[in-house]
Structure 1
Amino acid sequence: MDVDLPAIYCPYPVREHAAIERITEESFDWADRFGIYPSDQYRKIARHAQFPWWHGLITPTADENRILPFAKFLSLQTVVAEFMPQELARQPGAVADLIARVECTLEVHNAKVLADYPNIMGALEDLVPQLRQLANPVQYERWLESARQDLQSIIRETWVNSRGINLSVNEYIPLRVRTMQITPYFFSNDIVCERAVPDLLYSRLDVRALHCLVLAHIGIRNDVRGYRKDASEEQCNFIPSLIRDTRCSEGEAIAQSVRMLDSIMYRCLEIRARAEKGEIPDTLLEHIDNTLSVISATLAYEQHARHSWYKYAGDMAQEFSDSPSSVAPLSYPAIAWCWEM
């Protein structure tokens, strides 16, 4: 069911944490201790996909004991944002209720509002104090707000899927950048790496643009890879949106998507180079580099896990090009501002 992508432009390096296996296994042990998976089938999927392994790539030099609580959250986040919406059979109201209760517990760990989901409640009651201990109050609130926004996107995605709606590309991009559930890690990486970035700097247009572009790159590429699987399960996806807008063939939609990916990567590197020339704190430049590395880390994770979560066949080898196939700005208003600032 996999879609083979042509070579893409991604010159950013990737590194692997020395304790990546321990981080992954301890996260699994924690998940099993609380029994967070809704069924043994989902547990097997999670074990195959090895989601916590990804965290050992996005923070390759951090203290493993600081990584571990957020790697555990990644396991729990997968249950809430991926497994449970499937279990709730496309019921947007039920998904909204679960997510509201999770959000409340992330804010007040002993709120006891997840009684219908005791395993998730127990896991959060154990985990939230660990997360708060690592962050100062401002850092935790910033991380929590991004987690909330990403979780809430699942409600809209569930509604879109339940109605069989094929969104336009311009409508789909801002949804997809949130349903990836990656935004919180831009901020938790600063916490894990003990990086004190002044709050005001996150509001800079170039930083916001970089966040948007990185999320769009990962979302579009995942959608191209998973297009046929999503189609078989009637899930929204970038490729049908592009075909709807342009009336092109599947093959041309895939080729267009690769050109977009290369344009996005090129723009990310332009933003990084411009930021380096300006007078910005070293901590912000480190944040920018860490954010950019999430793209290559996600590619490396995919090669490692073989994306069994997405039911791909084959070895999933991704080839890379030395130069971008396109540098043309994307014209969709929801993302075009990243070139216009």
Structure 2
Amino acid sequence: MRSFAVSALREPPYPARRHAAVDLVAAESGEWVRELGLLDTRAGLRRLGGANPAELAGRACPDAPVERLRLLTDLISWLFVMDDACDEDGLGASPTRLAPTVALLLDVLDRHGDPDAPAPVDAGPLGVALDDLCRRVRARQRPTLLLRLVSQLREYLLALLWEAANREHGRVPGVAEYVQMRRHTGGVRPSFTLTDLTHDGLPGPGRRADPTLAALDALAADLVCWCNDIFSYGKERDRSSDVHNLVATIVGEDGRDEGAALRAAAARFNDGLAAYAEREAVFAGTGDEWVRAFLTTRRNWIRATYDWSLAASRYA
């Protein structure tokens, strides 16, 4: 599938960059995962190693202070562990099975990283690690970003229940429904938020509420998810009958054969990339330095996802 993606997807026209501290952060984040007990099996550690979260974070944030790059890397690691628990280990096979875990993690989020609260050991390693992430974000003293992160992680967890319901009933969502929900199940929005935390000057809440800028942000998230779907489709198809992939939903909705659906998914990405370039050009000419910094972070994520997907053994 990687060869198809390389031939069919337009390469994002943004410079490919990589943080100099990727290897250091990878080692530190791996130790964090082990110390908190997020993974305790060779198979789980091997899966996470194949995902290489520090590589993705380092390409998305090539200029971040090292401690903030580490925070983003730890979040991405947590998201990969949670996803694999649902997709690979059966936690997300049904809402009934997943709901108790989601409830415990929502309770952790409700703390907003309270430094005086005891560690949420009842929520298990996933809860303790999530609480640690929230505490570290809270310590940055950016309350608006903390609130945004907590809200986006709630949306992510609740969207996992949507996936679980689909799996239980063998339901294939329509393309429009899938595209909307993929923005949440992909974990891209909280990752964007911690990317924003690496910058001290980005648009404030009032500017972020601009519908045009919000739509551009959503399109950036879509491009990250669609790129990932195309690179990962072959492995997901061979591994299970899970239909939570753009290609699979096109097959289910339009009745196209796999080849035609792959080409349609690639065309959606390519068209979206062109539309993104047109829309961001409007903002780039405004002279607003904060908006330009915002656009740079989203460009970096689009390019980072493409480059990371080329090399990550997770999708080999």
- Please say whether Structure 1 and Structure 2 have the same fold, judged by a TM-score greater than 0.5: yes
Pick the aligned partner of 2:101 from 94, 98, 106.
98
Could you say what secondary structure the match of 2:122 adopts?
coil
1:309 paired residue number: 314
1:36 matched to 2:38? The reply is: yes
| 1:66–1:134 contact (8 Å) kept in structure 2 | no
Aligned length: 307
| d(CA) in 1 for partners of 2:174, 2:127 | 37
| CA positional deviation for 1:87 | 3.8
When the two structures are superposed, what TM-score results if normalisation uses the length of structure 2? Answer: 0.89
Change (3 A) 1:113 1:96: farther
User: Which digits, 9 at most, give the CA deviation of each residue in 1:96-152, with x for residues without a partner?
Assistant: 3212322321342436555152x2344344443222112421221012212221222
Could you say what secondary structure the match of 1:226 adopts?
helix
| CA positional deviation for 1:30 | 1.0
Where is the helix percentage greater, Structure 1 or Structure 2? 2
RMSD: 2.2
> What stretches of structure 2 of length at least 5 have no aligned partner?
none
Change (3 A) 1:252 1:123: closer
| d(CA) in 1 for partners of 2:230, 2:274 | 19
1:240 matched to 2:248? The reply is: yes
Question: Aligned letter for 1:257?
Answer: A
| d(CA) in 2 for partners of 1:162, 1:293 | 37
| d(CA) in 2 for partners of 1:168, 1:159 | 14
| d(CA) in 2 for partners of 1:135, 1:103 | 22
| d(CA) in 2 for partners of 1:255, 1:161 | 25
How is 1:6-45 mapped onto 2 (pairs within 5 angstroms)? 6-9=7-10, 10-37=12-39, 39-45=41-47
| 1:70–1:131 contact (8 Å) kept in structure 2 | no
| CA positional deviation for 1:272 | 0.7
Could you say what secondary structure the match of 1:4 adopts?
helix
| 2:284–2:292 contact (8 Å) kept in structure 1 | yes
When the two structures are superposed, what TM-score results if normalisation uses the length of structure 1? Answer: 0.83
Pick the aligned partner of 2:201 from 182, 188, 195.
195
| CA positional deviation for 1:38 | 5.4
| 1:80–1:99 contact (8 Å) kept in structure 2 | no
Could you say what secondary structure the match of 1:36 adopts?
coil
Could you say what secondary structure the match of 1:13 adopts?
coil
How is 1:45-124 mapped onto 2 (pairs within 5 angstroms)? 45-84=47-86, 86-88=89-91, 90-108=93-111, 109=113, 110=117, 114-115=121-122, 117=124, 119-124=125-130
Pick the aligned partner of 1:293 from 294, 300, 315.
300
Change (3 A) 1:89 1:274: closer
| 1:99–1:152 contact (8 Å) kept in structure 2 | yes
| d(CA) in 2 for partners of 1:16, 1:35 | 29
Higher relative contact order (CA 8 A, sep 6+): 1
Question: Aligned letter for 2:279?
Answer: I
| d(CA) in 2 for partners of 1:68, 1:83 | 22
| d(CA) in 2 for partners of 1:40, 1:255 | 36
Question: Aligned letter for 1:262?
Answer: N
1:132 matched to 2:145? The reply is: no
Pick the aligned partner of 1:261 from 269, 278, 286.
269
Q: Which stretch shifts more, 235-244 or 155-164?
A: 235-244
1:143 matched to 2:149? The reply is: yes
Change (3 A) 1:193 1:245: same
| d(CA) in 2 for partners of 1:95, 1:142 | 24
Q: Which stretch shifts more, 256-265 or 1-10?
A: 1-10
1:181 paired residue number: 187
| CA positional deviation for 1:285 | 1.9
| d(CA) in 2 for partners of 1:200, 1:290 | 19
Change (3 A) 1:210 1:148: same
| d(CA) in 1 for partners of 2:173, 2:3 | 21
2:226 paired residue number: 220
Change (3 A) 1:73 1:226: closer
| 1:142–1:187 contact (8 Å) kept in structure 2 | yes
